[in-house]
């Protein structure tokens, strides 16, 4: 699933590519992707101009000129790929494609999704704040106003949570998924099964530093293409070679030479180095 660095990469690209463009038509071949009557959806979207592309957590917000906003969630395998007029199409542009937005200048935006879990919603722009309030999303981790004090306060609210699951819960912090929670915890030297109440001040500070550092570095390299992810230009991200533990079960740790292990937590995999991230005895 695209996480914050991947979704923010797409947002920045689409904001640059789409702002000011007017939607000429939209073709929908999989109606369930659109969480609205198709007739109403097309009536609102067609003819509207794109003002800008924003993001909250892993949700893209396409603000339109008619006081509506399209919310796009890519979920597990969604892609949004932009092609200019007469630009040669690639197989991944049209394979598993479910929506095509055509603009008056001849360019197109392809929304394809192999697993079909993604969606498009329409929300009145004036009601976005209320919509996201109901989603109960945590703070944006790369915002400057997200501080160590904020992070420590959120941890205190979930004292019995395992730190891996805590980081992945969007109601705690927005946008951190499986890949980057693994990498953040390796950076901090913290085992994924540690409970938040067990963490010492120095460990909390290290995890917070890892959140800021790892996400920023991944964003700089346009994210991780370990599976289906491509950016808005159809290119892979370059962060996978930088991964220290995620997807490296059975391989040597790049830090100590030990063997990377994997375990299941709440149905999700956690990759870690047993030596660098030793599990300390619980105090409960």
Q: CA 223, CA 183: separation in Å to the nearest integer?
A: 13
Q: What is the per-residue pLDDT for 282?
A: 43
Rounded to the nearest 10 degrees, how much is the dihedral formed by the CA atoms of 121, 51, 61, 7? Answer: 130
Domain ranges for the chain: 4-135, 148-272
Rounded to two decimals, the pTM is: 0.94
Structure tokens at 221: 């390299």
> What tens-digit pLDDT sequence spans the chain (284 residues)?
799 999 999 999 999 999 999 999 999 999 999 999 999 999 999 999 999 999 999 999 999 999 999 999 999 999 999 999 988 888 877 888 999 999 999 999 999 999 899 999 999 999 999 999 999 999 999 999 999 999 999 999 999 999 999 999 999 999 999 999 999 999 999 999 999 999 999 999 999 999 999 999 999 999 999 888 999 999 999 999 999 999 999 999 999 999 999 999 988 999 999 999 998 744 43
The residues assigned a catalytic role are 2-3, 58, 268
Q: What is the per-residue pLDDT for 283?
A: 46
Q: CA 222, CA 39: separation in Å to the nearest integer?
A: 36
Tell me whether strands 261-265 and 268-272 are parallel, antiparallel or unpaired: antiparallel
Tell me which architecture the domain covering 148-272 has in CATH: Orthogonal Bundle (1.10)
Q: What is the per-residue pLDDT for 121?
A: 97
| CATH of segment(s) 4-135 | 3.20.190.10
Q: What is the per-residue pLDDT for 195?
A: 97
Structure tokens at 102: 């055509």
In 3-state terms, what secondary structure has residue 66? coil
φ and ψ at residue 6, rounded to 5 degrees: -70, -45
């Amino acid at each position: 699933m695209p996480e914050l660095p991947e979704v923010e990469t797409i947002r920045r690209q689409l904001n640059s590519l789409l702002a000011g463009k007017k939607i000429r038509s939209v073709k929908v071949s999989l109606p369930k992707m659109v969480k609205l009557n198709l007739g109403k959806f097309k009536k609102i979207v067609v003819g509207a101009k794109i003002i800008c592309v924003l993001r909250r957590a892993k949700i893209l917000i396409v603000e339109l000129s008619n006081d509506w906003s399209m919310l796009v969630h890519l979920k597990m395998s969604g892609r949004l790929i932009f092609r200019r007029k007469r630009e040669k199409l690639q197989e991944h542009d049209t394979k598993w494609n479910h929506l095509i937005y055509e603009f008056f200048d001849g360019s197109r935006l392809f929304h394809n999704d192999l697993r079909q879990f993604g969606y498009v919603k329409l929300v009145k722009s004036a009601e976005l704040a209320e919509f996201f309030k109901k989603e109960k999303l945590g703070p944006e981790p790369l915002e400057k106003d997200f501080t160590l004090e904020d992070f420590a306060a959120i941890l205190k609210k979930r004292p019995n949570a395992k730190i891996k699951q805590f980081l992945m819960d969007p109601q705690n912090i927005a946008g951190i998924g499986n890949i980057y929670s693994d990498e953040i915890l390796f950076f901090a030297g913290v085992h994924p099964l540690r409970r938040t109440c067990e963490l010492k001040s120095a460990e909390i500070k290290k995890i917070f530093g890892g959140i800021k550092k790892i996400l920023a570095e991944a964003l700089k390299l346009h994210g991780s293409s370990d599976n289906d992810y491509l950016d808005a230009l159809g290119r892979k991200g370059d962060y996978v070679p930088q991964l220290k533990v995620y997807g490296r079960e059975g391989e040597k740790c790049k830090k100590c030479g030990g063997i990377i292990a994997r375990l299941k937590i709440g149905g999700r995999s956690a990759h870690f180095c047993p030596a660098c991230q030793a599990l300390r005895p619980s105090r409960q």
